[in-house]
Amino acid sequence: MKKLEGKVALVSGSGRGIGRAIALKLASEGASVVVNDLDADPAAEVVEMIRKSGGEAVACAGNVTASEFPERFVRTALDHYRGLDTSSITPVIPGTASSRK
């Protein structure tokens, strides 16, 4: 049994760079990952990478700083996975992600 099996991780800015590395690591440990990025293509690419390596992921493109986004982010997890509890949410915001519009 993997360490994060049954957990759902929300990872913002995970289409590239550090966020991507975090998403891939969490997935390799068994978490189902909701991959967010401003840009849809890299987010979809990360989802594909995770699925190809036997993991579980879904993309949720959008600006993490937008007021309506958090609800959509969590809703994506609830719609695709078994649900959420506070111990299964792993929000990660790379440093500059919040400064990009």
Ligand X SMILES: NC(=O)c1ccc[n+]([C@@H]2O[C@H](COP(=O)([O-])OP(=O)(O)OC[C@H]3O[C@@H](n4cnc5c(N)ncnc54)[C@H](O)[C@@H]3O)[C@@H](O)[C@H]2O)c1
**Which two tokens mark 45?**
């690419």
Tell me, what DSSP letter sits at residue 35? E
Separation of alpha carbons 63 and 16, rounded Å:
14
Give the Cβ contact number of residue 93 at 10 Å.
14
**Contact status: 95 vs ligand X (CB under 6 A):** yes
CA 62, 41, 49, 56 torsion: positive or negative? positive
The binder of ligand X chosen from 3, 6, 39, 51 (CB under 6 A): 39
The binder of ligand X chosen from 18, 44, 89, 92 (CB under 6 A): 18
The binder of ligand X chosen from 63, 70, 84, 92 (CB under 6 A): 63
**Contact status: 8 vs ligand X (CB under 6 A):** no
The least distance separating ligand X from the CB of residue 22, rounded to whole angstroms, comes to 9
Name the site residues for ligand X (rule: CB under 6 A).
12-13, 15-19, 36-39, 42, 63-65, 94-98, 100
